[in-house]
Structure 1
């Protein structure tokens, strides 16, 4: 998607949804996040839950936990909109 298209989408504030994912350790937050990214076409469905896309730091990978929060923008096409 072109930058201009993304800027136009951001102007439609009634279409923007902000979500937060919070849960106890080992309850699937990272797996859920990976699956959202896969649903948006930002990673393959085969890697969802394995790639740990939002765990950026080496210590997160080494410890197998998410330490820092992360944010990502996704675009979902629902009903042709």
Structure 2
């Protein structure tokens, strides 16, 4: 829910002057990213993947591990995944 609201604000959908192809210039600041709650057993069963570009370079970490090391990155990746490219 947090990521959905942040993505809406970043796109500018809350403004009457919303245009899909224009950056509205809005900013979102998330405080206490380490306190997010995940339902079910997503901490252990959901993974974040990244690839180095080299053969065999696919790495995966559980969301629980990422929340311990980089809690802001988990929120950022969720929000960026909801924005158009």
Question: How does the TM-score come out when normalised to structure 1?
Answer: 0.29
| More strand, by proportion | 2
| More helix, by proportion | 2
